[in-house]
């Protein structure tokens, strides 16, 4: 059984169904449903999703316009794409329909309420009935009830975010065709964004570290000060928590109780806090964790010696090391945002290298290593210029 049919749940359900398992997917809303989200998909999604999702891509992104509190703008463009923009109602609907076509029985408008681990199954009570499943995949997002009920030891932070959307009709998108805007100075330790969609702009703010006093004030100030939005009336934003990965919290969960597997239940996507702590990218990791979870479940059905812990171990191998480095970078960026904004301007090759992370050509690990090398050798050059006789 899969609880929640966002990208994580729909992907897990699709993979399990096409391998021949009987899968029931519960979704409390009706697809296509609105989801508060920037809808930015890094290009490396190409490596893990079949290409039919391109039918719902609204824009392809080739560059980022960086600003600091609306000032000091600079654009770093690339000749090759770095990301896609999607509206989550259409994107998620497409994934759910794929799962359905592969054989998943999808119950929409049905909310899971309670869970009980039994010796040979897991029992799920919903607002419509009661079910038993061999395995339960909790894909119910940032406010996951599966995590709350079956993983009570999890005490992980979720950051507040706000987002709104404006219709722009046939006007050219802002900040320009194929570009997104990121403002590192809009919040104390986070960023504000403008992501273009077909005839729309998604505008949001998120704090990534520390405490936020008033996200609404931050959002209003960003909208007020951002010159490109001057001619628009921006509707009241909607809030949604962002369950960022935290290396410290997850480090504590390497012994039982584990972070992602408990008895017959697994957590994927936002329910498992699988969100990149640098820029809040979660869709890629929702899809990927759904795939890894499905592979682990299938493993246990085919080979009795395998266990669901394979899923947790695979995430620790593939995703956590990347998130740990992203978290180190985030600590630097959000502690010294103004300095970092200026350094990004100066070391544009580092941003180009980061674009390769988004494309899947670099990992955070190889990026960090190379970026440090670029900055160090440039410092050495600066020193040589400043001290020519040494």
* Distance of closest approach, residue 390 Cβ to ligand FAD, in angstroms: 47
User: For ligand FAD, what does the binding mask look like between residues 34 and 63, x meaning CB under 6 A?
Assistant: -xxxxxx-----------------------
Buried b (16+ CB within 10 A) or exposed e, 2-19: bbbbbbbbbbbbbbbbbb
Q: Please name which of 233, 230, 242, 227 lies closest in space to residue 181, comparing C-alpha atoms.
A: 227
C-alpha–C-alpha distance, residues 222 and 210, integer Å: 19
Whose Cβ is closer to ligand FAD: residue 117's or residue 125's? 125
Query: 238-242 and 159-167 as β-strands: parallel, antiparallel, unpaired?
Result: antiparallel
Q: Please name which of 318, 80, 101 lies closest in space to residue 178, comparing C-alpha atoms.
A: 80
**Among the residue ranges 31-39, 53-61, 255-263, 382-390, the one whose residues contact ligand FAD (CB under 6 A):** 31-39
196 sits near ligand FAD (criterion: CB under 6 A): no
Buried b (16+ CB within 10 A) or exposed e, 344-358: beeeeebbebbbbbb
C-alpha–C-alpha distance, residues 272 and 142, integer Å: 8
* Distance of closest approach, residue 329 Cβ to ligand FAD, in angstroms: 17
Question: By beta-carbon distance, which residue lies closest to ligand FAD?
Answer: 282
* Distance of closest approach, residue 122 Cβ to ligand FAD, in angstroms: 14
Phi and psi at residue 182, in whole multiples of 5°?
-130, 125
286 sits near ligand FAD (criterion: CB under 6 A): yes
User: For ligand FAD, what does the binding mask look like between residues 232 and 271, x meaning CB under 6 A?
Assistant: --------x-x--------------------------xxx
29 sits near ligand FAD (criterion: CB under 6 A): yes
Q: Supply 71's token pair.
A: 């000032």
Q: Which residues bind ligand FAD (CB under 6 A)?
A: 3-9, 26-29, 35-40, 111-112, 139-141, 145, 161, 163, 204, 240, 242, 269-271, 275, 280-284, 286
């Amino acid at each position: 059984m899969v609880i929640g049919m966002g990208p994580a749940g729909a992907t897990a359900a699709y993979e399990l169904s096409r391998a021949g398992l009987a899968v029931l997917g519960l979704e409390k809303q009706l697809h296509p449903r609105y989801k508060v989200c920037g809808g930015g998909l890094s290009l490396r999604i190409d490596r893990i999703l079949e290409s039919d999702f391109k039918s719902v891509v609204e824009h392809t992104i080739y560059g980022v316009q960086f600003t600091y509190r609306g000032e000091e703008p600079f654009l770093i463009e690339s000749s090759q794409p770095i990301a896609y923009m999607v509206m989550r109602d259409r994107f998620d609907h497409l994934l759910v329909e794929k799962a359905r076509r592969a054989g998943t029985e999808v119950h929409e408008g049905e909310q899971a309420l309670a869970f009980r681990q039994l010796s040979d199954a897991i029992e799920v009570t919903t607002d419509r009935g009661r079910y038993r499943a061999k395995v339960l995949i909790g894909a119910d997002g940032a406010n996951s009830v599966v995590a709350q009920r079956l993983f009570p030891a999890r005490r992980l932070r979720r950051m507040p975010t706000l987002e709104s959307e404006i219709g722009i009709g046939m006007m050219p998108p802002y900040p320009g065709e194929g570009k997104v805007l990121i403002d590192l100075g809009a919040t104390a330790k986070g960023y504000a964004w403008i992501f273009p969609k077909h005839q729309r702009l998604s505008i949001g703010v998120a704090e990534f570290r520390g405490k936020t006093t008033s996200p609404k004030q931050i959002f209003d100030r960003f909208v007020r000060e951002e010159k490109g939005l001057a001619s628009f009336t921006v509707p009241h934003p909607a809030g949604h928590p962002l369950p960022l990965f935290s290396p410290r919290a997850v480090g504590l969960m390497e012994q039982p109780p584990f972070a992602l597997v408990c008895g017959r239940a697994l957590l994927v996507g936002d329910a498992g806090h699988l969100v990149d702590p640098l820029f809040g990218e979660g869709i890629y990791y929702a899809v990927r964790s759904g795939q890894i979870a499905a592979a682990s479940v299938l493993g246990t059905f085919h080979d009795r010696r395998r266990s669901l812990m394979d899923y947790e171990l695979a995430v620790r191998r593939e995703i956590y090391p990347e998130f740990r480095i992203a978290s180190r970078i985030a600590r630097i960026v959000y502690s010294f945002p103004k300095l970092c904004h200026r350094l990004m301007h100066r070391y544009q090759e580092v941003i180009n290298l980061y674009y390769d992370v988004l494309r899947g050509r670099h990992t955070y690990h190889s990026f960090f290593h190379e970026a440090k090398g670029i900055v160090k050798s440039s410092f050495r050059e600066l020193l040589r210029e400043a001290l020519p006789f040494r």
